[in-house]
A and B are shown apart, each in its own frame.
Chain A
Amino acid sequence: MHKVADIVIGKNIMKANKKLADKNQKNFENHGIFCVDFLGAIGSGKTAFIEDIIENTDYNIGVLAGDVISEFDAGRIEKHNVPVVGLNTGKECHLDAHLVEHGVHDLPLDDIDLLIIENVGNLICPVDFELGSHMRIVVVSVTEGDDTVEKHPLIFKGSDLVVINKIDLADAVGADTDKMVADAHKLNPNAKVIKSSLKEGIGLDEVIAAIDEFKNKS
């Protein structure tokens, strides 16, 4: 007869990521960097927003572009002449603090004052993984359906800014943009909510102003 022993472990699997996220944030702050994390589904308009922010602000921007195959988005951003590092997640559905820690090694941090991280297109998994950013922006397009916000409460609860994008297509897809705004406010009364259409030039200025405001507050 062998001995049987009970061992208390109590190890929080999520803590390792949280610790690294805090370390990332400290690293950004030591370099005077404000970090914004863009979240949203595939095709919601995250990359387009990043491109337009690069073109329409005076920030010295650096980008970490995460995706299952990151070369496509990173390639788009590279054309705007800013330092960009693609983060390949392969089969994983989200970025984590560890990938970000490695990614920033290849960015000239002393030359950057706004770091933009583009997360993997997904409204579910990234919720569990803080990256160390100061501000979380969720982009949701009307083409995803106007019940998308209420169906994914946690990602909107954890965001600082919600952007309802592609509103020029709302009528074509029968989406009620006011409902999406109301759902976002209900889930997260503290978040700012902005309607946008990059194609029509709507909302970009407001999004940039919100980033400025958040940056000055922090």
Chain B
Amino acid sequence: MHELSMAQGIINTVLETSEANDATEVKKVVVEIGKLAMINPEQLLFMMNVLVEDTIMEDAKIEIVDIPVEIECAECGHKGNGKVDEEDHYVPMIECPKCESNALRILNGQDIIVKSIEIEKPDD
């Protein structure tokens, strides 16, 4: 349950960038979340909606994009997307899609990235 601090980190980044670009309003924010990050996107959105009150990003549309899991398999050497089973858990089980091994190195899918923003600014 660290959605609150993550939400605050994202909002700080957005507001800093907006201010540096003389924004009057933030229209849209795109956040990428790795499928293996220990963050529930719905809870993150809930927290963000609480924290943006009375800021210039109050009415911004927040778009969340998944970052897929990339792995390197220690058994067969496969490098690429991991096979993710989300049926039972929010935290996915990962295995190699080729040989089904669990002996993997995770290359991607654990990050949280503030990708881009769309802002409104006064005419020059």
Contact = CB atoms under 8 A, between A and B. Distances in A.
Nearest to B14: A9
B89 A9 contact: no
B62 interface: no
Contacts of B103: 188-190
A5 B119 contact: yes
A13 B114 contact: yes
A154 B71 CA distance: 13
A153 B10 contact: no
Interface string B64-98: 00000000001000000000000001011110000
B6 A9 contact: no
Interface in A1-38: 1-16
Contact of B114 (A6, A10, A153, A189): A10
A10 B38 contact: no
Nearest to B25: A2
Interface string B1-41: 11011100110011001000101100100000000111100
Contacts of B2: 92-94, 125, 128
A14 B32 CA distance: 12
A11 B92 CA distance: 25
A5 B5 CA distance: 27
A187 interface: yes
A127 interface: yes
Contact of B111 (A4, A12, A93, A187): A12
Q: Which 4 A-B pairs have the closest CB atoms?
A: A13-B112, A189-B103, A2-B120, A13-B9
Interface of A: 1-16, 91-94, 124-125, 127-128, 151-154, 157, 186-190
Given A9-B116, A12-B111, A13-B112, 6 more contacts: A8-B116, A9-B14, A13-B6, A154-B91, A189-B74, A189-B102
